[in-house]
């Protein structure tokens, strides 16, 4: 396999998953739950004890903007036909390479005997990837690299197979194995072998979960600004290569999560699969998941936003042209909510007229609208903000879903501009999703919201 010496300035996390239906090794009801950890949690290896709420939100804003660029580029690339592109044109083929903009981490086990991997949990990706030995020109990671030769269940996939053909770009290696090659805009290349292996999870119910014969990317070359604590990614997107689609009917094509408030630093989040992901009750609301391109992303149709009962129309951004009625992406890996310039200005205007507090500048230079709450915190009244999605789904956001602490006694609207309407990428971020149990049903193509205290779930 040829190796490239080019380096690139963004992090890459690749996950390759199977399209055949694996058997799951656990008892009873085909439902299980695992723990996911926010990157800023004290339980995270990335935790910085010297960080402050304002420094964390400033860093999250930068990641949110980078994340929006990733979505925009992916939507652009999805319009192209990769089958018509030459193998050596790494600028042109669609790449599932994501920058270092993740928010949540999880652990899984790989191989037999199993090795623990700290991974990114990402609803904006489909692929699964780990760094393998031998690894030439690879970034340094704290944990040992996965050694496929030490696992009795590791197998490479031959080229000219259905599994190999699902990759956006692949070639035939010297031993007729399926080589995957992913390029980035600066012409850097990532290369590895498409392989199968047993993946396992620690279930919160105490039962170990093992999933045999999962396709994954065993990477033998990688460069970039990876964090040494990270060794992979679990793709939870809607595309054919995702973990969710791979598990398929064995989990009813269902998963869910419940993200506690960022102020609940000791709380952990739950990622649920199968029967554990079913959400019911009188307070649940559902909205259609809209088919879009690429099918990795979860598109919704946002009809309008209301502020204190006043309706704000929503523009039709770039992704809507590729996803029928879909005009916003729901994403656990983006912290802030991004909406187009015109819509954001209208929301801000409505808030200004509804909140009788002094306005101040954001000391971090991130947000447009901030209020001084010194001396009045106990009596501060913020108007109700509702995101009205299609199907009659009115998602009422609490103050903690809409405002963040940007400094001492300073609260700012946790929404930023995604740009001019025509080129914008609207994203419903994870602050807005906190304290909702959110379920994805990929059979029914429905998304369910249920207000929940996720810290005690």
Which residue from 368, 252, 242 is spatially nearest to 298, judged by alpha carbons?
Answer: 242
* CA separation, residue 240 to residues 69, 123, 166, 322 (Å): 23, 13, 8, 18
How distant, in Å, are the alpha carbons of 83, 300, 305, 443, 444 from that of 447? 32, 9, 18, 11, 9
Of the residues 122, 179, 295, 340, only one is catalytic, namely: 122
**Which entry of 295, 331, 362, 441 is annotated as an active-site residue?**
331
Q: Residue 149 contacts by C-beta under 8 Å, 6 or more apart in sequence?
A: none
Q: Are the beta carbons of 15 and 98 closer than 8 angstroms?
A: no
By DSSP bridging, strand 208-221 and strand 129-131 are parallel
In the residue annotation, 88 being an active-site residue is answered as no
Active site residue 295: no
Q: Which residues have a catalytic role annotated? A: 122, 331
């Amino acid at each position: 396999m040829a190796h490239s010496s080019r380096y690139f300035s963004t992090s890459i996390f690749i996950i390759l998953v199977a399209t055949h239906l694996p058997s799951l090794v656990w008892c009873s009801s085909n439902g299980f739950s695992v723990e996911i950890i926010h990157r800023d949690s004290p339980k995270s290896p990335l935790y910085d004890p010297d960080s402050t709420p304002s420094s964390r939100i400033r860093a999250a804003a930068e990641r949110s903007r980078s994340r929006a660029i990733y979505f925009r580029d992916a939507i652009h690339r999805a319009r192209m036909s990769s089958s018509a592109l030459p193998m050596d044109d790494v600028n042109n083929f669609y790449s599932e390479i994501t920058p270092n903009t993740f928010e949540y981490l999880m652990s899984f086990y790989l191989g037999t005997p199993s090795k623990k991997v700290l991974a990114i949990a990402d609803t904006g990706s489909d692929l699964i990837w780990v760094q393998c030995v031998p690894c030439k020109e690879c970034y340094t990671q704290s944990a040992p690299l996965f050694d496929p030769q030490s696992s009795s269940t590791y197998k490479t996939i031959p080229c000219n197979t259905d599994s190999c053909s699902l990759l956006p770009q692949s070639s035939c290696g010297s031993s007729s194995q399926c080589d995957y090659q992913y390029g980035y805009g600066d012409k850097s290349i990532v290369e590895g072998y498409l392989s199968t292996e047993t993946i396992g999870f620690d279930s919160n119910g105490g039962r170990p979960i093992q999933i045999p014969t999962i396709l994954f990317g065993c990477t033998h070359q990688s460069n970039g600004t990876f964090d040494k604590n990270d060794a992979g990614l679990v793709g939870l997107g809607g595309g054919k290569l995702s973990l969710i689609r791979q598990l398929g009917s064995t989990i009813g094509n269902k998963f869910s999560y419940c993200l506690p408030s960022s102020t609940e630093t000791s709380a952990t989040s739950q990622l649920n699969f199968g029967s554990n992901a079913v959400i019911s009750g009188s307070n649940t609301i559902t909205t259609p998941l809209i088919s879009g391109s690429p099918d990795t992303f979860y598109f919704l149709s946002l009809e309008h936003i209301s502020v204190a009962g006043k309706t704000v129309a929503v523009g039709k951004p770039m992704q809507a042209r590729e996803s029928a009625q879909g005009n916003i992406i729901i994403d656990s890996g983006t912290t802030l909510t991004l909406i187009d310039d015109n819509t954001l200005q209208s929301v801000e205007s409505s808030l200004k007229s509804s909140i009788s507090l002094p306005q101040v500048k954001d000391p971090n230079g991130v947000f447009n609208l901030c209020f001084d709450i010194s001396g009045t915190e106990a009596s501060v009244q913020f108007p109700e903000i509702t995101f009205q999605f299609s199907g009659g789904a009115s998602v009422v956001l609490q103050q903690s879903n809409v405002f963040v602490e940007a400094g001492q006694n300073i609260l700012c609207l946790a929404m930023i501009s995604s740009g001019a309407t025509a080129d914008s990428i609207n994203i419903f971020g994870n602050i807005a999703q906190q304290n909702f149990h959110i379920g994805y049903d990929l059979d029914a193509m429905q998304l369910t919201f249920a207000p929940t205290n996720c810290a005690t779930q």
